[in-house]
Amino acid sequence: MKHRVTLIPGDGIGPEVAGAAQACIDATGVSIEWSVHAAGEGAIPKFGSPLPEVVLDSIRRDRVALKGPITTPIGKGIRSVNVALRHALDLYACVRPAKLYPGVPAHYKKVDLVIIRENSEDLYAGIEYDDGTPEVKELIQWVRAHGGKAIRPDAAISLKPISATASERIVRFAFEYALTHGRRKVTAVHKANIMKFSDGLFLEVAQRVAAEYEGRVLFEDRLVDNLCMQLVQRPETFDLLVLPNLYGDIISDLCAGLIGGLGVAPGANIGEQAAVFEPVHGSAPKYQGQNKVNPVATILSGVLMLRHLKEDAAADRLERAVAEVLQEGRFVTYDLKTDRKDTSSVGTQEMAQAIINKLKKIPVPA
Ligand code: NAD
């Protein structure tokens, strides 16, 4: 069966890693008709917008996309295209497996956990009021009038909405994912001791949903600060983490650090109507155009995409090819060398080619 997939190369290193992943996916023999669309900085000159409607329409039609990272300027300026895309398509569940492959330099022997991050609200909702504006002044007065604490007049304010609806949706997604992917335990992560209403609601909903899965999937909860320490000390004690948006973002990078870095950390954003697969890492502009960075995070995002397309045999072969190249450690990028100045490291394209060469030797199941 021929699949249709929207490909968004993205900014910075995006085109290099997305191109490498596309070549590896095509080498599996799965038939894919790619629609390539610019989003991010590259789309602005032609469309006047970093997220043109034509991109959203293409994903809505294909229902599946593979995406390179897109740059978000820090502070003032345009809001994140990545966040806008997740909101526009209601890709409410971010799935990020963190698996340590043999051969990858890391401080641990075994790490194999999955992060499920809520994608639609929390401090990522983009509800912010800049300092000195009439809106923020009004809000500060409103908070004081309604029994809240005094806020300094020169403050900027970001709101953190956490709803029962979105919490229930993501926690249920996490439990269903656990059941269908052979995961034994779900850990809900929060800071409900301090944010009693927002994180408190997330925890309360998680406990309620967990009760429905009692006897099938174990459940526990952790304060996010405590989780950070325990992840660093004993990552093998965790199986599947479900978190509100901001904690999910931060813990994703922490977990990438446990498994060898951002160069090997894949991800997926999933909704009812569409799914967008992308690496955890950003556009690393300082490495743009140097054929230097690791393509594996995007290739493994492609493996997740193939599984989503029910092309499990191709996904298994591609994952095995990646694992073999990682284990041999010969054709790997600089970030996978114990000494980062090791001159035997190869470039993005050479690593992708080594994966394709391995793939060709792995038999296609009859
Ligand atoms: P980044 O992930 O782009 O890079 C941080 C560092 O991680 C790099 O300097 C590099 O040392 C390492 N790294 C990242 N990807 C790598 C790879 N494939 N191989 C080897 N090393 C790799 O994070 P940043 O510098 O904070 O962000 C750069 C831009 O990317 C920002 O504009 C940010 O908003 C954006 N961003 C986009 C996404 C997305 O598109 N989903 C995600 C995160 C960040």
Q: Dihedral through CA 307, CA 313, CA 317, CA 320, nearest 10?
A: 70
Which of the following is catalytic: 239, 249, 292, 358? 249
Element (DSSP H or E) covering residue 67 = strand 64-67
Q: Is the CB of 71 under 6 A from ligand 1?
A: yes
In whole angstroms, what is the distance from residue 245 CA to residue 266 CA?
A: 17
Residues 155-194: pLDDT tens digits? Answer: 999 999 999 999 999 999 999 999 999 999 999 999 999 9
Residue 104's φ and ψ, nearest 5 degrees, are: -80, 125
CA 12 to ligand 1 center in whole angstroms: 9
Q: Is the CB of 262 under 6 A from ligand 1?
A: yes
In whole angstroms, what is the distance from residue 269 CA to residue 71 CA?
A: 17
Q: Record the tokens describing residue 260, joined without a space.
A: 């060898």
10-residue averages of pLDDT along the chain (366 residues):
95 98 98 97 89 96 98 73 93 98 95 97 94 97 92 97 98 98 98 97 98 98 98 97 98 96 97 97 97 98 98 98 97 92 93 98 90
pLDDT of 75 reads 60
Strands 268-270 and 93-99: antiparallel
Q: Is the CB of 282 under 6 A from ligand 1?
A: yes
pLDDT of 42 reads 86
pLDDT of 345 reads 95
Count the residues in the chain.
366
| Helix (H) and strand (E) counts in the chain | 12, 12
Q: Which residues contact 235 (CB under 8 A, 6 or more apart)?
A: 108, 111, 113, 255, 258
pLDDT of 111 reads 97
Q: Record the tokens describing residue 145, joined without a space.
A: 């009038």
Asked about 249 being catalytic, the answer comes back as: yes
pLDDT of 68 reads 98
Element (DSSP H or E) covering residue 7 = strand 3-8
Q: Record the tokens describing residue 101, joined without a space.
A: 């492959």
Domains for the chain: give ranges and CATH numbers: 1-97+262-366 (3.40.718.10), 107-113+161-258 (3.40.50.2300)
